[in-house]
Structure 1
């Protein structure tokens, strides 16, 4: 299974070295932020760190595959599950430092390191938009903040735009632009925080015998 397939399936994994075409970020650098914008960044970091558990419905839109829906649950640090509604055969689970993607239609499992995906940023115990993460863009329109980020040491892997509501401050979704220029958007609704999530939700899929 290709990394592109994972990107289309879950909207969270950036294309890595397997991509044959990369984006040109040579002219881009971390954006300069005003003190007020820096203040919002710190609030976002604190809000993400304080969100120990999370459950929501999601809608995913890809340019080639259209729209799919499902349920996402998160438990910090390091655990997340995307369950796609039928008839989709897809499942993605992050746990134990790995992201495991299952396509039941072909009985195939793909495993990649959590730190090689945007989920690595979102599931850290102490999320920070600095150091190994660079901010490429910051926009605020009314009650929404758009934060465009990439991996500092390899921006050619792709980028991710995170969408936050400011009242209350919460993650609304994201758009991933992979190394081949394909976009995948994920939007959350019916968000609940501080929920109890069954331990079994984060059991990693295994190859079927």
Structure 2
């Protein structure tokens, strides 16, 4: 069983359990005020295994399923099973942590602010995948398809714009910083990946 599937199973199980266990939800959710006051740094990670509802959970885990195993395979190919899996988890869990840092800085004195979900970690995996295979098509709503590098650019622009609007309850900062983290770290972890990224785009059919 792949690490990606193990993460999905754990996340689904914990999320469902937390929906009926308020103590777990309260103790694991990302709460910058508690992190700052009580040094509960574990919340950077535990909150990534919680989700608000079925739709939130389904979308994140389906996306992770589609992109995660490809990224996991790349790391195992370059480094072998043990180190490869460690580096894959570094991308995933690191994206989870880095994605929440802007929210922590903004809201560490705001008692009412809370966040949850694996969106930052999943964004890190998506953008690692785009680095490795930038011309692979990504489809939105099953019919609007585009090369990964085009999707990635639009995703960054949209996330940045929405993070400034603060008009919904989605943590767009987590999407933005998780994506950037995953892309940059993958460049350093897989030698030659950025050169290959540029070459694949240069050879893409439209050119």
Task: State the TM-score, normalizing by the size of structure 1.
Answer: 0.24
| Structure with higher RCO (Cα < 8 A, 6+ apart) | 1
Q: Of Structure 1 and Structure 2, which has the larger fraction of its residues in helix?
A: 2
Q: Which has the larger radius of gyration?
A: 2
